[in-house]
Chains A and B, each alone.
Chain A
């Protein structure tokens, strides 16, 4: 029971660190932060809302900063072989699995905002265009590729035990 609680606490910590990565990237690139909050939909998560970056480099740096921090932690844990701490292992792999998921993640935002329809619409009606493009992307061939890679990563992470 305690291992579940500790794993959840580590997961919560890694979620916060992940959002910290977005905040640091936004601050470094002078992107105005609009809101830092939590949402229950489509699953409970924290988020950082910013004025949408105009340049592509800024956009991708901002979007992938959170994931980069998580993988940095993963590398530190791997190099120092901290995997003996089971709760740390579970917390970290849950975080990595969640942040790479093909349903709602930074990768999805990066892919969807790179679609032709989104680029064509510009930043007008951001939310409705995003929803439309997201619906078109879900269950497409590229999405299945993402899903397969995600499944592969899950299996690799689980095999680390």
Chain B
């Protein structure tokens, strides 16, 4: 079982590394944003660099969860590949767990790269006690956004249109969040909207702050919605 899981993770990692665009947007692009925003507002401001560090990581978690899991699984169903996967001499669950673990590994690599760049450019490294928060944030965030992505992907909207909707959700969540700057300080209403959306609670986890009940709501709602939608959906090819 463990060997199969390892092979499944390896397969998904190889698959991911072969999509150059995916590698760029999940590895290079967050580092790019960290360097640019860090240079604009973070020089000699360790507090901002610390906030930006978790902000960029939060953004990558949201993007990975929304784009790399839900639409991929929907694609398996829509194209009929799921039937082929079921015929393989392995539990299909190992296949999907492998997909999720490969995304966690990718996010841990982003975390490592961010730490190195942060040390080299801004002389900042997250304190050791924050590591647990960062890993917990990655796992919880990926779980939350993956189910959100799955819910949107399986919501029954026209095939292909779900990517537009996911983009809308992603940018809506990103621009109302405290990823790059505390939005609430500029506009209270936008700040309140951001606090009600799922990214700010994940940022609280990453930053070791109290995230309140809203995170529980966001963890439960997409799972319930997804399980309802999944039973009702029919794929016609």
Contact = CB atoms under 8 A, between A and B. Distances in A.
A154 to B, nearest CB: 6
Contact of B36 (A138, A139, A140, A151): A151
A132 to B, nearest CB: 15
Nearest to A156: B39
Contact of B39 (A138, A140, A159): A159
A147 B35 contact: no
Interface string A129-161: 000000000111000100100010011001100
Contact of A155 (B20, B23, B24, B39): B39
A147 B24 CA distance: 11
Interface string A59-101: 0000000000000000000000000000000000000000000
A127 to B, nearest CB: 21
B159 interface: no
Given A138-B20, A139-B23, A155 B28 contact: no
Contacts of B1: none
B36 A154 contact: yes
Chain A interface, >50% SS class: helix
Nearest to B32: A151
Chain B interface, >50% SS class: helix
Query: Interface size bucket, A side?
Result: 10 to 19
A96 B113 CA distance: 28
Of A138, A144, A155, chain B has the most CB atoms within 10 Å of the CB of A155
20 contacts: A138-B21, A139-B20, A139-B21, A139-B23, A139-B24, A140-B20, A144-B28, A147-B28, A147-B32, A151-B35, A151-B36, A154-B36, A155-B35, A155-B36, A155-B39, A158-B36, A158-B39, A158-B40, A159-B39, A159-B43
B56 to A, nearest CB: 14
Contacts of A154: 36
Interface of A: 138-140, 144, 147, 151, 154-155, 158-159
Interface string B6-24: 0000000000000011011
Contacts of B28: 144, 147
Interface in B194-210: none
Contacts of A139: 20-21, 23-24
A15 B39 CA distance: 25
A155 B21 CA distance: 23
Contacts of B21: 138-139
Interface string B34-46: 0110011001000
Nearest to B38: A155
A147 B39 CA distance: 17
